[in-house]
Amino acid sequence: MEDRFALLIDADNVSAKYIKPILDELSKYGNVTYKRIYGDWTKTNNASWKEELLQNSITPIQQFSYTHGKNATDSAMIIDAMDMLYTSELEGFCLVSSDSDFTKLASRLRESGKTVIGMGEDKTPSPFRKACDIFTVLELLLEDNTMEKEERNTSHHPQEKEQKKENAVSRDQIEEAVIKIITENQNDDRETGLGEVGSRLVKLYPDFDVRRYGYSLLSKFLETFPKLKLIQEGTKVTVTLYEDKSKKERLEEYIIQQIRSNGRYGISLGSLGNRIRMKFGDFKVRDYGFSQFKQYIQSFPQVELEDDGERTRAVYQMGDDSRLYRR
């Protein structure tokens, strides 16, 4: 049975343009049994919500602004949330607001064992973000529809996008956290699954979201860290650390892994080159004794290049892996 959630929206601090992404995102976590939105519907600035309420079956709660300049919706939303906590069988709450006034509410709901998902704009203060189990930036949900550009734009470093997100957790912090997770599991003779990495990163940083860094998948994001290695066996994906090898050995191992993972059709040299530059930012083919990237890839014993008239692809030839690094 799916977890049941109550969706509570602060109309005074969230735009109506986010409603579809909000509902789509929340559907990943469970079934939304309550959908309520709070605001002063006598005001013209909430008019954009009216059509969305009808289309998405959201119940509007009227709250008059008794004092000029004060947000009247906060108290009504908090009271309803506490009523639901004690009278309804819910597993979690989704609080949609860019206001830090709901920080205490999020903490109280979590103390009662409920999952709290927060959503708000990028301006949302840190205390509210940290009070939630998961916090999602609404601007990222709008961008998510175009995230397929990841593969098409691999020549543009996602780090450039990351630097524009002032509130994003730094890549160094993420790498350090993942290495610590893997090391702890290794000390207990346990593997580290991709799912565990994702869930623990969210626990450490509730507003962690790979979409902030230009990716739609956690696996693709982790592959950009030189010290991390992903191993897939069927549907199981584990995350481990590269052995203490020279940069040259790690580079060669990564190249073989990328070519092999694309099966008998191989990978185009353009895509392979982009992936290498993303993972090894200072990669230069001349550093390895070659003037052309094509010549460098040709030097791998078990890699053949195939030209279909439009592009050249590197294809892995099955054989004895022990020859790979005897060069």
Cβ atoms within 10 Å, residue 323? 11
Q: How high does pLDDT run on average in the chain?
A: 83
The Cα–Cα gap between 74 and 28 comes to: 26
All domains in the chain, ordered by first residue: 4-146 (3.40.50.1010), 152-241 (3.30.420.610), 247-323 (3.30.420.610)
Residues 6+ apart with CB under 8 A from 104: 131
Which residue, 50, 56, 70, is CA-closest to 24?
A: 56
Rounded CA-CA distance 24/29 in Å is 10
Query: Poorest-confidence range of 17-26, 55-64, 137-146, 301-310?
Result: 137-146
Contact call for residues 86 and 111 (beta carbons, < 8 A):
no
Instruction: Give which of 136, 227, 228 is closest to 219, Cα–Cα.
Output: 228
pTM: 0.61
CB 201 within 8 A of CB 225: no
- Identify which has the larger pLDDT, 1 or 295: 295
Q: What is the pLDDT of residues 299-322, one digit of tens each?
A: 998 899 998 888 899 999 876 444
The DSSP bridge partners found for residue 312 are 307
pLDDT band, residue 167 (cuts 50/70/90): low
Neighbour order of strands in the sheet with 134-137: 59-62, 31-39, 4-10, 92-96, 115-120, 134-137
- 223-262: pLDDT as tens digits: 889 888 898 888 889 998 876 567 788 888 889 989 988 8
Beta strands in the chain (DSSP E): 4-10, 31-39, 59-62, 92-96, 115-120, 134-137, 228-233, 236-241, 267-268, 303-307, 312-316
201/24 Cα distance (integer angstroms): 22
- Please tell me the predicted confidence (pLDDT) of residue 185: 86
278 within 8 A of 258, measured Cβ to Cβ: no
User: Residues 46-63: what's their mean pLDDT?
Assistant: 85
| Alpha carbon distance 193, 191 (integer Å) | 6
pLDDT tens across 120-162, in order?
999 999 999 999 999 999 988 887 644 444 444 444 444 434 4
Count other C-beta atoms under 10 Å from residue 241's C-beta: 15
**Lowest mean pLDDT, pick from 70-79, 107-116, 202-211:** 70-79
Distance (Å, rounded) from C-alpha 33 to C-alpha 5?
6
